[in-house]
Amino acid sequence: MVVSCYQVESSSSAKELPEVWLDFDQRKKSRFKAFDSEGQALEVYLPHGTVLRGGMILVGDDGRRVRVNAKPQSLSEVRGDAAALLPIAYHLGNRHLPLEIETTSLRYESDHVIDDMVRHLGLVPTQIEAPFEPIDGAYKHHHHEP
């Protein structure tokens, strides 16, 4: 299956689709190959700058549909209140790191150097395995379906 476009569907029938599990590094590539849950090969060609999110539906040139899932991966998670998390979010953003932000936690791809910096700033990162859905960057280009 060759995919040259994508779309988001919210239909309940999307739950019945074949799935492809991709980590964040794979989901931010505009060109990649993968296999879906039925063993079908996927060749994906998307507009530069596209970031696939869990729940998006890839639509092949032949009309075949595959649901994208965010694959669990090694992450560092920091928990605290806003006063503790804001300086850390600032320093991580200053390094242009992808960052998942929740009310009481921050998540980033595990990196021992960044973990040491976070410890130096007063919080202790915990290693977890989870899907990673960082926020979009401020300069993200929005692509529309053809």
pLDDT in tens, 73-120: 999 999 999 999 999 999 999 999 999 999 999 999 999 999 999 999
Same domain as 99, residue 83: yes
Q: Say if residue 48 is in the same domain as residue 13.
A: yes
Rounded Cα gap, residues 115 and 74, in angstroms: 13
Whether residue 19 has pLDDT greater than 50: yes
Domain that holds residue 93: 73-130
**Domain-located, residue 23:** yes
Evaluate if pTM is beyond 0.85: no
Could you tell me the sign of the dihedral formed by the alpha carbons of 36, 41, 46, 48, in that order?
positive
Same structural domain, 36 and 78: no
Q: Are residues 32 and 61 in the same domain?
A: yes
Kindly report the CATH number assigned to the domain that includes residue 57.
2.60.260.20
If asked whether residues 88 and 122 sit together in one domain, one would say yes
34 lies in a domain?
yes
Closest-CA residue to 69 (of 17, 105, 4): 17
CA distance 97 to 95: 5
Q: How many domains does the chain have?
A: 2
In a domain, 136, yes or no: no
Say whether both 93 and 63 belong to one domain: no
Looking at the structure, do residues 35 and 65 belong to the same domain, yes or no?
Answer: yes
Both 10 and 49 in one domain: the answer is yes
